[in-house]
Chains A and B, each alone.
Chain A
């Protein structure tokens, strides 16, 4: 029984090493992160179209002003996060190629629709 356990331990250790490398990489990031804010109000995203710069790392702050929970979800951005009622959450994004990335609120999939418009010229 010991041998398979050992086989399992090595990749787990490697993964931990990779994670610690990741956190060093994170610490090397700029101290002042770029933040864009998206609000949820009456089960809608405001603004429904958010302009963000291309090829830049940024954070998306999602503020839920409703009393009810919502789940921010986007297949093209590869992100999902539950935002409880009257609370907020942060998602790390980018660098994104120019284009449009749609997102939606999972609990209101027909109405809570929005797009991230990634624009090359928006970059300063």
Chain B
């Protein structure tokens, strides 16, 4: 059962982080709808579709289907996070109340794509492994605990970010989203290497002796910064390129510009 808790928790962590930071950021901008709920329901459907068709999907494109689906979902998350960040300075300076349709679109796409990927793996673990091997009780109860811990952590981060106040919340969450987005792009690059689209010949460093990827610290750093103990040169290039784009997009959000964020919400 402990294994089930850990497996599900590590799958939940990444998507949870994307969702709760986006949620906090959108509420600080004045979003009034509970947009995450329908997105979650949609993602559950998408993940079930993904999980039930994975065998056929894996065989597509000369055995590269699974990797390319992951690349698509990761890049979709990464790109829509950047799209969200691109709009932030504009929305804040215009002082228009709340969230524009374009902002909603990027919120929805980023969180949905992140959730589909992680939920699909959880469904595969529960149905195609746990229940299929007759370990229904330990796997399902472990999964419920793991998901519960992950969601509680998300709620904690969500309220923590809002507690900072609207302005700080927007700044901190923008930084977090830049880092998470860069991590997603780096993971997408890793799947391109795994499917043979990129060479992946040069491993830049090996820090597995310091922080193992499968340790709790490693998992948290992975979800937050896209930590990889043995990153390839392509991964690092894409990571820093994505981070650089985020910094360029966000430079208007710097502290010295007096943005009256607190007047956003009526």
Q: Does residue B86 face the partner (Cβ distance < 8 Å to A)?
A: yes
Contact sample, A vs B, 5 pairs, CB 8 Å cutoff: A4-B86, A4-B249, A69-B125, A75-B213, A106-B7
Interface residues of B (CB under 8 A from A): 3, 6-7, 54-55, 58, 62-64, 66-67, 79, 82-83, 86-87, 90, 102, 121, 124-125, 128-129, 132-133, 190, 192-201, 203, 206, 208, 212-214, 228-232, 238, 241-242, 245, 248-249
Contact B197 A22 (CB under 8 A): yes
Q: Which residues of B sit under 8 angstroms from A22, Cβ to Cβ?
A: 192, 197-199
The smallest C-beta distance from B245 to any residue of chain A, in angstroms, reads: 5
- Size category of the binding interface on chain A: 35 or more
Q: What 1/0 mask marks residues of chain A from 1 to 44 whose CB sits below 8 Å from any chain B CB? A: 10011011001100100010011011001000000000000010
Closest to B201 in A: A95
Contact A89 B86 (CB under 8 A): no
SS of A interface (majority) = mixed
Contact B102 A1 (CB under 8 A): yes
Q: Which residues of A sit under 8 angstroms from B212, Cβ to Cβ?
A: 75
Q: Does residue A81 face the partner (Cβ distance < 8 Å to B)?
A: yes
- The answer to whether residues A107 and B102 also contact, given A68-B132, A76-B208, A78-B193 and a CB cut-off of 8 A, is no
The smallest C-beta distance from A59 to any residue of chain B, in angstroms, reads: 8
Contact A8 B129 (CB under 8 A): no
Q: Which residues of B sit under 8 angstroms from A82, Cβ to Cβ?
A: 54, 58, 66, 121, 124
Closest to A79 in B: B194
A26 to B197, CA, bound (A): 6
- The answer to whether residues A23 and B197 also contact, given A8-B245, A107-B7 and a CB cut-off of 8 A, is yes
A43 to B248, CA, bound (A): 48
Closest to A110 in B: B3
Contact B128 A7 (CB under 8 A): no
A89 to B192, CA, bound (A): 15
Q: Does residue A47 face the partner (Cβ distance < 8 Å to B)?
A: no
The smallest C-beta distance from B116 to any residue of chain A, in angstroms, reads: 14
By CB atoms of chain A within 10 A, which of B102, B133, B192 has the most?
A: B133
A25 to B193, CA, bound (A): 12
The smallest C-beta distance from B174 to any residue of chain A, in angstroms, reads: 13
Contact B194 A81 (CB under 8 A): yes
Q: Does residue A85 face the partner (Cβ distance < 8 Å to B)?
A: yes
New A-B contacts (8) at CB < 8 Å, excluding given A8-B82, A26-B197, A75-B208: A78-B194, A78-B231, A82-B66, A82-B121, A90-B62, A90-B64, A107-B125, A108-B3
8 Å CB interface, A51-106 against B: 59, 67-71, 75-76, 78-85, 87, 89-92, 95, 106
A91 to B192, CA, bound (A): 11
Contact A1 B87 (CB under 8 A): yes
The smallest C-beta distance from B16 to any residue of chain A, in angstroms, reads: 19
The smallest C-beta distance from A17 to any residue of chain B, in angstroms, reads: 13
Contact A7 B58 (CB under 8 A): no
A81 to B70, CA, bound (A): 10
The smallest C-beta distance from B7 to any residue of chain A, in angstroms, reads: 6
The smallest C-beta distance from A52 to any residue of chain B, in angstroms, reads: 15
Contact A81 B229 (CB under 8 A): no
Contact B66 A8 (CB under 8 A): no
